[in-house]
Structure 1
Amino acid sequence: MLFNTTRSVLYLLSFIALIVVPFNFLSAQNLSNIFEPSVEISLTPTNPGPNTPVTATLTTNSFDLNAAFIGWAINGKVVSQGVGEKIFSFQTGAGGQIIRLEAILQIPNSTDVVRRQITIAPAELDIIWESRGYTPPFYEGKARAVLQSTLVFTAIPQIYTQNGKVPASDLVYTWSKNKSVLQGSSGYGRNFIVIEQDFLSRPFTLTVVVTTRDGQITVEKSVSINPGKPELVLYEEDPLLGFRLEKGITNSFDLQKEELWLRAVPYFSDISDRGNGLTDAMWRMNGHTVKEGPLEEKLVLRRPSGVEEGRVNISLSVENENKLLQSLQESFSILIKPITNNSVF
């Protein structure tokens, strides 16, 4: 009876061994295939543009990189190798020149080799913006961003893949204002955005992230806007020469002829409000209203009969009911002096 019991125990132990031993053998022989080391390549900058210095860095928690033999290859050609070469620096080419960067690592005290590859497609991104504010003809420059102005921002990406340049309409745009995503203005093909500044009109930073549809290429750009104030400038209008835009009237104007034509230019105020009855002007002379109406209309002042010398104070106020921060005021003095017969001809 005891012999039978002993033999049963031996059979049971043999059965357990048959189960356990093959499992341990399989695990020991194929551990590297089942649990491949985690190795990552990171780039600085993350999304490099054309002709940009780049640093690639390897990281892992699976083995000691300082003891590993590491090779770096660009487009299939080994360009750097050595023990512990976990950092590699290079430079991207022109836009459209795709780089395939590969790291080949031999794990210390092992014949196992780990490969990691990353594709770099240098991309460029610009943001251009324009204000819908007014500037007179032949004004050099563009309208500035001012309080409560309407601004239009357009993203101009230069992104390339193996198939060539990606059309701007075939990219995904994510717009953010002060790091807050503007969901309603973001999406596929939405490469421009209109910003209507509110009554506060604080400085802000607008950012756009442009991504290919497969998410493989991403590029980012930001622009900062600090709204200023619109300006009201008064000019003399000559019957023959027209607007005298080369010199605005500031503190005073010498009147040495029979009459003076005045026009006002509201630099950088929204043109959508001009000419629609929303921007009204009120001219005053020595505190008395002498003209009300659209800002586009000129003011004609005639020399008082028999007056050789004198002084008249002129002021102009412009009200914008829709955008109160674009309401403006300006004033100057007219110094009446004896008439001269100077001619430009």
Structure 2
Amino acid sequence: MVLLWQANDSYVPPFYKGKAMPTDGSEIKVVAMPEIKVGSILVNPKNMTYVWKNGDNNMPKESGYGKNFLAYVNDYLENSESISVTVSTVDQKYSSQSNITIRTVRPEIFFYRQDAELGIIWENALSANHQIKSEEIILAAPYFISPKDIRRPELIFNWSINDRTVNIPIYSKSLMPLKAQAGASGASKLRLDIENTGKIYQSAKKEINIAY
């Protein structure tokens, strides 16, 4: 039996080809896809009973007839959880069991350059040392943070340059405009700290050097 899972509220940017990963306190959905045959007939998954467990803990509210999926919030104290399910026909004559281990990750910020004509250059994340020539806009993408709508007010973006706070309008909090002064050269440290006021154990930070 195959178990498929997804993190329901984990942010990934547009066109991201990978899987959205869960972080501390993420909502996760697991779907069971049993293939039980009675004779030559494949039993409809909706016509079977499901007993879900998280580790050694039974989940009676999530178990029952036709309940082929499980939605739960992972424990922020654990970096992995083992989800198992036993599926049975109504008469209990046929059954199948499967389990899966789901691991959490920490949110990670990547910076990208916003081009005036091409938009966000998603294929090239900025390196630890980035050079600007004149004016430039940097976009922050906090992979796997939740909620996945990063415009939500519980996600606080704190930008700083050389440890001095830079105030950014809340409607464009993921964007940092930069400008190199004509005739000047040097380097500055650009840093972003993101905190989630709704999930005290979830945060992310990133800093790079900006040369001009």
Give the TM-score taking structure 2 as reference length: 0.92
Q: CA deviation at 1:246?
A: 1.6
Distance 2:154 2:171 in 1: 9
Cα deviation, 1:132-171, whole Å, max 9, x if unaligned, reads 2111111112112222222110111111213722111111
Partner residue in 1 for 2:103: 226
Q: What pairs with 1:313-328 in structure 2 (closer than 5 Å)?
A: 313-328=189-204
Partner residue in 1 for 2:76: 199
Give unmatched runs, 5+ long, in structure 1: 1-124, 337-345
Partner residue in 2 for 1:176: 53
Q: Given the alignment, which residue of 237, 240, 249 partners 2:114? A: 237
The higher radius of gyration belongs to 1
Cα deviation, 1:159-213, whole Å, max 9, x if unaligned, reads 1213722111111000001122111110001111112023313321100100000
* Higher relative contact order (CA closer than 8 Å, sequence separation 6+): 2
Partner residue in 1 for 2:184: 308
Partner residue in 2 for 1:158: 35
Bigger drift between 259-268 and 324-333 goes to 324-333
Partner residue in 1 for 2:125: 248
Distance 1:188 1:272 in 2: 31
Aligned 8 A contact 1:170 1:213 in 2: yes
Aligned 8 A contact 2:11 2:149 in 1: no
Aligned 8 A contact 1:147 1:230 in 2: no
Distance 2:183 2:202 in 1: 38
Q: What pairs with 1:1-345 in structure 2 (closer than 5 Å)?
A: 125-132=1-8, 133-162=10-39, 164-256=41-133, 258-272=134-148, 274-292=150-168, 293=170, 297-304=174-181, 306-336=182-212
Query: What SS is found at the alignment partner of 1:223?
Result: strand
Q: Runs of at least 4 residues of structure 1 off by over 3 A? A: 294-297
Q: CA deviation at 1:272?
A: 4.7
| Counterpart AA for 2:105 | G
Partner residue in 2 for 1:78: none
Cα deviation, 1:273-311, whole Å, max 9, x if unaligned, reads 62221112111111111124357541111122x333111
Distance 2:183 2:162 in 1: 16
Distance 1:126 1:199 in 2: 26
Distance 1:264 1:248 in 2: 10
Query: What SS is found at the alignment partner of 1:169?
Result: helix
Bigger drift between 167-176 and 292-301 goes to 292-301
Distance 2:38 2:56 in 1: 28
Distance 2:101 2:17 in 1: 22
Query: What SS is found at the alignment partner of 2:167?
Result: strand
Distance 2:183 2:86 in 1: 67
Aligned 8 A contact 2:49 2:88 in 1: yes
Q: CA deviation at 1:269?
A: 1.3
Query: What SS is found at the alignment partner of 2:61?
Result: helix
Which has the larger share of strand?
2
Query: What SS is found at the alignment partner of 1:271?
Result: coil
Change (3 A) 1:201 1:296: farther
Distance 2:143 2:123 in 1: 15
Query: What SS is found at the alignment partner of 1:325?
Result: coil
Aligned 8 A contact 1:234 1:264 in 2: yes
Distance 2:93 2:145 in 1: 42
